Amino acid sequence: MSSIKTVNPATNKVEKEYEEMTGQQIDTILSNADKAFKTWRKTSFAVRAELLHNVAAILRKRKEELGKLCSVEMGKLLREGIGEVELSADIFDYYATNGAKFLADSPLDTPNGKAFLSYEPIGVLLSVQPWNFPFYQITRSAAPNIMAGNTVVLKHASNVPQAAEIMEKIFAEAGAPKGVYTNLFVPGSKVSEVVADPRIKGASLTGSEPAGASFASMAGKYLKKSTLELGGSDVFIVMPDADIDKAVKTATAGRLWNAGQVCVSPKRIIVQASVADKFIEKAKSIFESAVVGDPLDPKTDLAPLSSEKAVEDVMKQVEKAVKQGARLITGGKRLNRSGAFMEATILTGVTKDMSAYSEEIFGPVLVVYSVKDVDEAVELANDTTFGLGGTVFGTDTDKAVEVARRIDTGMVYINHVTGIAPELPFGGTKNSGYGREQSPAGIYEFVNAKLIRVTTPDAAY
């Protein structure tokens, strides 16, 4: 049986299955992508922008259908799935509208003659993406790079094959020439072979630390540029002057988002000891009142996790934490029903010698820490191998920004969980990876910033 299949996490039933592509099929796809690049790189910005605007329009037109597909394939709440599709459309439009400006020649100051940078595409890119945002993850990789004149081959997560397939069809419907954007149905074990192929000129991956280390090693071996986004253990620092009700509401909503399966979900809450009990009690009330159920039901607050393995892994982490001495405030159990459902969970008393202190828990589990002051909060926030996003929540935003500057991550939001917007760069530091997606920065990752200088033979240099 193929590993590439849709298993509805609300029912654990197989919805659709796909055969893995043969070596010949993979070769044909890479050849088509390489051939398409030779033409696509010469197209005008206007032609590329038209394609991206068309993709955006199709996404918006079909947002209900595509949002439902997110629910069926990986369990996302329907309203979240629709929101994801709308965000994806916004990103395509963003690069279509701004791409020509971002990629225009950039003049350089020089005392002799003139010089400028010309931003040129590099070739076929491999994009390896995860399941937690089936359309958004594709978009933030594909939109800037296709606008830049590259062609893209996607290897999506094996549990969201319908999203992968339909995105290729949307590009074709939007008018993309054959080979500009293509899906690969291959297991993770075949990725290294694709990275090694000389027709691949750059590679991007969003996934786990082990996958990222292997991926970067392979890209480095063949001297190919790569970008990585490897998850995180985002901190949520509650400042002494914070409105506790607003802080609790923001933190819990962020942790329930996508059933906690978000790299930038607030996973570690750090609160002053004087108000820690109050924060925990309010968070407990919200979590215990959260409606767990069918992701297609608008009354549902907490959907199933993406798969049976996903819920089993999170449950093992919770059980291990409790066994090691953490205090279970609420939750910590699976629901007695079919599907990958679990209760929203709160842990306290996690110490440095416990696994939960250093691991990313990819599910609806909130770990709350109590500290004596802001300095201790910052020290705890930075005591992690991850460095993706984070939040500082407080009334005095100037002080909150000061604290944000001290946090070692790629992103920090004030009074909001780490979010997503087309114009804002997304990416981390430390073991959360390297490179940026979205914003102007996202379009420069896989282009050749070529220096062109006009001068004379007798110039000093």
Q: Spot the catalytic one: 80, 84, 229, 437.
A: 229
Q: Are 387 and 412 within 8 A, CB to CB?
A: no
Q: Are 386 and 268 within 8 A, CB to CB?
A: no
User: Cα–Cα distances in Å, from 16 out to 82, 203, 266, 298, 332?
Assistant: 21, 28, 33, 25, 31
User: Any catalytic annotation for residue 263?
Assistant: yes
Q: Are 268 and 425 within 8 A, CB to CB?
A: no
Distance from C-alpha of 304 to C-alpha of 159, rounded to nearest angstrom: 14
Beta partners for residue 120, in sequence order: 448
Distance from C-alpha of 461 to C-alpha of 166, rounded to nearest angstrom: 53
Tell me the two tokens of residue 22. 């043969």
Q: Mapping DSSP to helix (H, G, I), strand (E, B) and coil, where does residue 171 land?
A: helix
Q: Are 169 and 182 within 8 A, CB to CB?
A: no
Q: Are 92 and 146 within 8 A, CB to CB?
A: no
CA atoms within 13 A on the CB side of 64: 1
Length of the chain: 461
Tell me the two tokens of residue 344. 């929203």
Residues 6 or more apart from 44 whose CB is under 8 A from it? Answer: none
For strands 13-17 and 5-8, give the pairing: antiparallel
The DSSP H or E segment spanning 52 is: helix 45-61
3-state SS record for 281-312? HHHHHHHHHCCECCCCCCCCCECCCCCHHHHH
Distance from C-alpha of 97 to C-alpha of 321, rounded to nearest angstrom: 48
Distance from C-alpha of 334 to C-alpha of 266, rounded to nearest angstrom: 22
Q: What is the DSSP letter of 443?
A: G
> Judging by beta carbons within 10 Å of its beta carbon (0-12, 13-18, 19+), is residue 225 exposed, middle or buried?
middle
Q: Are 118 and 108 within 8 A, CB to CB?
A: no
Q: Spot the catalytic one: 70, 84, 263, 360.
A: 263
Start-to-end C-alpha separation, the chain: 64
User: Any catalytic annotation for residue 312?
Assistant: no
- The catalytic site residues sit at 229, 263
